[in-house]
Amino acid sequence: MQEWLRQNTQQYRLMTALITMLLDQGFSPVPTEPTQNTRFRQDHTQAILELLASFRSGSWPSPLKVFSTGPLYQPETLHWSETIDVEVLGPQEPSSDFVALDLVGRLMSELSGPADDLLLVFGHVDVLARCLLAEDVDPQSGHAVRKLLMAGHLMEAETILARSAPATRELCAPLPFDRFAAGLPAPVRPMLDSLRPVNDRLDRLLTTRWDLSLTGNWPYYTGLVFALYLPGVGQPLLHGGRFVMQTGETDWQGIGFTLHLDPLFQFSGASAKVGSST
């Protein structure tokens, strides 16, 4: 029992350390319900935005930085996982992308210091669509490719790409920034140039890769998507992306990510930094 209580204590220390870091970075908590429309919550974003949309004054700070805590339900596996969801709301792109990704770097740095074994993989659903257009793939087929990738049907997507968009197919594997950028069609390359500073900054803390087969779990993603992996850990430590979503009469733009506490706990390994701080 002692070991079980010790592990629970460590996990709560990790959670409170992350929440403290978010508060220190100017993020405000938004309490959300674990059920939405009589279903268990699978995503915090919509619940956060519905709550915020109930304030009609419109005088929000920009960017609006919020977070929500609590478990998410995965219906495929009937599994609950403890999470913290972080959102940077505002139209500014790429500056709010920088805020969100800078926060990822700070959080990981606080938990462990520089960690070369951490792999931050970026995808970009808009870059994917433009690459396909550049290879004369019609938008309907491009949409079908994205749907296949979102559903995890990599093999079917690769088969279509190999036939109709071989250059895009080559970008569907984790590649370093420069190799990825060199493989992009010339008209698309400027989109990535604007993200080079944030890539370079994060590359100093962890390893970054770019992979167009990463499209994120949700259909509302419109641009940059990302997932943080640790070799040997079977779930991403965090994942998220830039989105556009409408709730009621409010159109939201922003970038967000979900921190998964179980794999993060494995990563921190009850590290001295978190575990001995209290």
Partner 1 sequence: MKGYDRITVAVAKGRILADARSLWERAGFSWPVTESGRQLWFPPQPDRPGLLIARAKDISTLVSQGIADLGIVGMDVLREYPDASVLEVADLHMAQCRVVLAGKTAEWPQGPCRVATKYRRIAEQFFQDRQHPIEIVPLSGSLELAPIIGLAPYIVDIVDTGNTLREHGLTEIATILPSSALLIANASHWRTKPAAHAVRALFQQEAVGKESMA
Residues that bind partner 1 (CB under 8 A): 74, 76-77, 119, 121, 150-156, 173-174, 209, 211, 214, 217, 227, 229-236
User: What are the phi and psi torsion angles at 31 (to 5°)?
Assistant: -75, 125
Quote the least distance from Cβ 161 to partner 1, whole Å: 14
Query: What 3-state DSSP class applies to 239?
Result: strand
- Of 210 and 252, nearer to partner 1 (C-beta) is 210
CA angle 14, 20, 23 (to 5 degrees): 145
- Of 126 and 262, nearer to partner 1 (C-beta) is 262
Quote the least distance from Cβ 115 to partner 1, whole Å: 13
Residue type (1 letter), 174: P
Quote the least distance from Cβ 6 to partner 1, whole Å: 24
> Which candidate, 245, 276, 262, places its Cα nearest to that of 8?
262
CB atoms within 10 A of CB 30: 18
Quote the least distance from Cβ 209 to partner 1, whole Å: 7
> Which candidate, 78, 99, 79, 101, places its Cα nearest to that of 90?
99
Interior/surface letters 224-240, b for 16+ CB within 10 angstroms, e for the rest: bbbbbbbeeeeebbbbb
- Of 13 and 41, nearer to partner 1 (C-beta) is 41
- Of 74 and 95, nearer to partner 1 (C-beta) is 74
Quote the least distance from Cβ 119 to partner 1, whole Å: 5
- Of 92 and 266, nearer to partner 1 (C-beta) is 266
